[in-house]
């Protein structure tokens, strides 16, 4: 049963209006605390995309299907995500609730091999030759060749908290740091790894995590200097490919030989070697943060009531 609280309408900011203001503020605060994280995982050889909870359990292991080679994802600012279908050369926008927002948001990039989203919502897409283009959140082209990173083979791109863009080049074995507005290289060889750089992750302190599938390891690096905190933070028996870091600093790595995503703590110790299983050549996976439906309902209800009281107050003044 839902208890209905009485609402007192007053021409002054009395207890009733103060209560409603508190309701709206409380709704906003609750919204900040009622965000649920989810993980979207593309299956490059399965032609589908799965959605998983933060405990690794499947919400829907085939949320969207029918793709050619879905391999790269990035979170949009509104809780949606972008998906690169590599063979089709398209970037689509999708909602974790199963809604296709726009399956062909961006087209004509047949070798798209990495994607990242800036804080202003602009989308950055790299092709296999290392050329990085910039697009609006609506898919409009800003610059098809903002800059070129290394000698190509881009597989990972992340933004830091200052808006700098980091890009891997598997062919040159480097991670470069770039000004995302001008495309100027801040340091085109910030990190150099002999074997090759593949996936790329970043934590809340702007530390970088670089996947080296040739060296069978993930290293942790300083994003300002490129210095290694630990070049072999995590070692593997088979090649790792992609990585992501959650808000707690736990590190997740895809192991395509066994088709799993494994979980490690911030020190590189294994927490769960079978965090997500049953995958099919997983691509770069992404953490999404979306509000729970009940939170939106509370905030909308509080806002509506406050607006109604404001209208009554204006009528009484006339």
Residue 220: give its domain's CATH number: 2.120.10.30
What pLDDT was estimated at residue 35?
58
Per-position pLDDT tens, the chain of length 318: 333 332 222 233 444 444 433 433 344 333 344 456 899 999 999 999 999 999 999 999 999 999 999 999 999 989 999 999 999 999 999 999 999 999 999 999 989 999 999 999 999 999 999 999 999 999 999 999 999 999 999 999 999 999 999 999 999 999 999 999 999 999 999 999 977 899 999 999 999 999 999 999 999 999 999 999 999 999 999 999 999 999 999 999 999 999 999 999 999 999 999 999 999 999 999 999 866 554 444 434 444 433 444 444 444 445
The owner of tokens 């900011």 is 13
Q: Which domain holds residue 96?
A: 34-290
What pLDDT was estimated at residue 15?
45
Number of domains in the chain: 1
Beta-carbon count within 10 A of 155 CB: 25
Residue 17 forms part of a structural domain: no
Q: How far apart are CA 187 and CA 198, in angstroms?
A: 18
pTM recorded for the entire structure: 0.82
Residue 125 forms part of a structural domain: yes
What pLDDT was estimated at residue 157?
98
The owner of tokens 């299907």 is 65
End-to-end CA distance of the chain: 39
Residue 305 forms part of a structural domain: no
- Tokens standing for residue 125: 């897409």
Contact indicator for 66, 80 with CB cutoff of 8 Å: no
Residue 147 forms part of a structural domain: yes
Q: How far apart are CA 263 and CA 260, in angstroms?
A: 10
Q: Which DSSP helix (H) or strand (E) runs through 126?
A: strand 123-127
Residue 204 forms part of a structural domain: yes
Q: How far apart are CA 209 and CA 166, in angstroms?
A: 11
Task: List, in sequence order, every beta strand (DSSP E) within 180-223.
Answer: 185-192, 200-202, 207-212, 217-222
Pick left, alpha or beta for residue 158 (phi over 0 → left; psi -120 to 50 → alpha; otherwise beta). Answer: beta
What pLDDT was estimated at residue 77?
86
Residue 244 forms part of a structural domain: yes
Residue 222 forms part of a structural domain: yes
Residue 249 forms part of a structural domain: yes
């Amino acid at each position: 049963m839902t208890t209905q609280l009485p609402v007192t309408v007053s021409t002054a900011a009395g207890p009733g209006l103060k209560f409603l203001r508190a309701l709206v503020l409380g709704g906003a605060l609750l919204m900040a605390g009622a965000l649920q994280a989810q993980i979207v995982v593309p299956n490059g050889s399965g032609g589908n995309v799965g959605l998983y909870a933060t405990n690794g359990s499947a919400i829907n292991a085939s949320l969207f299907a029918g793709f050619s080679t879905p391999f790269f994802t990035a979170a949009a600012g509104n809780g949606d995500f972008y998906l690169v279908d590599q063979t089709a050369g398209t970037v689509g926008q999708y909602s974790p609730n199963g809604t296709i927002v726009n399956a062909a948001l961006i087209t004509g990039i047949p070798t798209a091999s990495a994607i990242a989203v800036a804080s202003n919502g602009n989308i950055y897409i790299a092709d296999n030759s290392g050329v990085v283009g910039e697009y609006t959140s609506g898919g409009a082209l800003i610059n098809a060749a903002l800059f070129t990173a290394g000698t190509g083979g881009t597989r990972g791109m992340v933004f830091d908290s200052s808006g700098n863009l980091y890009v891997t080049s598997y062919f040159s074995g480097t991670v470069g740091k770039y000004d995302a507005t001008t495309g100027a290289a801040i340091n085109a060889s910030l990190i150099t790894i002999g074997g090759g750089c593949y996936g790329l992750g970043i934590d809340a302190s702007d530390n970088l995590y670089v996947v080296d599938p040739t060296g069978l390891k993930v290293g942790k690096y300083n994003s300002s200097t490129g210095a290694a905190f630990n070049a072999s933070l995590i070692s593997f028996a088979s090649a790792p490919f992609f990585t992501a870091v959650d808000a707690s600093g736990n590190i997740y790595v895809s192991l395509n030989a066994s088709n799993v995503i494994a979980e490690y703590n911030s020190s590189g110790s294994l927490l769960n070697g079978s965090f997500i299983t049953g995958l099919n050549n997983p691509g770069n996976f992404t953490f999404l943060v979306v509000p729970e439906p009940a939170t939106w309902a509370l905030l909308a209800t509080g806002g509506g009531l406050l607006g109604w009281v404001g209208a009554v107050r204006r009528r009484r003044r006339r």
